[in-house]
Amino acid sequence: MRRVATIAEMRQCRDDWRRQGLSVALAPTMGFFHEGHLALMRRAKTLADRVVVSLFVNPLQFGPNEDLASYPRDLERDAALAAEAGVDALFIPTTSEMYGADFQTKVVVSGLSQGLCGASRPGHFDGVATVVTKLFHIVAPDVAVFGEKDFQQLAVLKRMAADLHFNLRIVSQPIVREQDGLAMSSRNSYLTAAERQSAVCLSQSLALAKQLARDESVSVAAIEQAVTEYIEKQPGFVVEYASVVDGESLRHADAVGQNSLLALAARVNGRVRLIDNAMLRRS
């Protein structure tokens, strides 16, 4: 596996592959790899001849009071895991390589970025859309892989790729979970042992939502309330949102339909922010 630090070298690598007629898959990440990331990498391997994983903790997508400085990092472990997963190039640019001193361009996907996580993280999806645009231009992949755990991110990036005519396919990877059901996340490392035990309430609340959704007499509001109450039974857990939305438009649903999704975000003791989601079906 090649470690690539500069944009010029990444482009060179990509051009060499293109000359050899090889296709390329990209999986953008912020590192501190877990099985969710590795599933993305393995999926990418099945989709193209060469796999690029970018590892960049993107300052543009963090708010002023968020965890940019404390975001977990372990480059050597990440590089070993990526190599083991069959990644061909690990692209690890510095912040100054990605954002020159005079940087002033932003990509905004207006509608889809507004609600859910966008409501409490203003500017977050502008940061995501901007860095992913840059990565798409640098790596020029044939296919890019993103996880369904960040469902709104996936919807925003699909819209962006279509609107800006990126010549690539976006593939989504189902959520990888711990044995007890907690969605894997680099941010789970912030949880204390007691918080980690309680955090299973998120995936359990989704199971409850799925069960309630099968009963047509249960309204969307009742499902959302049941999920919120279930999570908030755990000391220190506060629900930021628990919303039934359409899986594509992300608009709030009046009733559970074909493509409905329960998306939720919760804060743990004001310190850790966790997200999760699941599709709901009527029957």
Residues forming the active site: 37
- Angstrom distances, CA of residue 200 to CA of 131, 152, 213: 32, 22, 20
Binding flag, residue 141, ligand AMP (CB under 6 A): no
279/269 Cα distance (integer angstroms) = 27
Type of residue found at 213: A
Handedness of CA 121, 37, 237, 221 (dihedral sign): positive
| Least distance (Å) between residue 283 CB and ligand AMP | 27
Q: Which of 52, 109, 132, 176 binds ligand AMP (CB under 6 A)?
A: 176
Among 237, 250, 124, CA closest to 182: 237
Binding flag, residue 175, ligand AMP (CB under 6 A): yes
If the CB atoms of residues 190 and 256 are measured against ligand AMP, the closer one turns out to be 190
Binding flag, residue 29, ligand AMP (CB under 6 A): yes
If the CB atoms of residues 30 and 47 are measured against ligand AMP, the closer one turns out to be 30
Stretch that binds ligand AMP, among 75-83, 176-184, 191-199, 272-280 (CB under 6 A): 176-184
Stretch that binds ligand AMP, among 68-76, 113-121, 141-149, 250-258 (CB under 6 A): 141-149
157/135 Cα distance (integer angstroms) = 12
Binding flag, residue 147, ligand AMP (CB under 6 A): yes
Contact (CB, 8 A) for 36 and 72? no
Binders of ligand AMP: how many residues, by CB under 6 A? Answer: 17
Binding flag, residue 195, ligand AMP (CB under 6 A): no
| Least distance (Å) between residue 190 CB and ligand AMP | 13
Binding flag, residue 54, ligand AMP (CB under 6 A): no
DSSP 112: T
| Least distance (Å) between residue 201 CB and ligand AMP | 17
For the chain, give the number of residues: 283
Taking each helix axis from N to C end, the angle separating 75-84 and 35-47, rounded to the nearest 10 degrees, works out to 40
Q: Which of 173, 203, 260, 277 binds ligand AMP (CB under 6 A)?
A: 173
Handedness of CA 25, 41, 125, 247 (dihedral sign): positive
Contact (CB, 8 A) for 239 and 265? yes
If the CB atoms of residues 132 and 220 are measured against ligand AMP, the closer one turns out to be 132
Q: Which token pair is 68?
A: 């940019």
Binding flag, residue 127, ligand AMP (CB under 6 A): no
| Cβ neighbours for 111, distance < 8 A, ≥ 6 positions apart | none
Binding site for ligand AMP (CB under 6 A): 29-30, 36-37, 39-40, 146-147, 149-150, 173, 175-176, 183-186
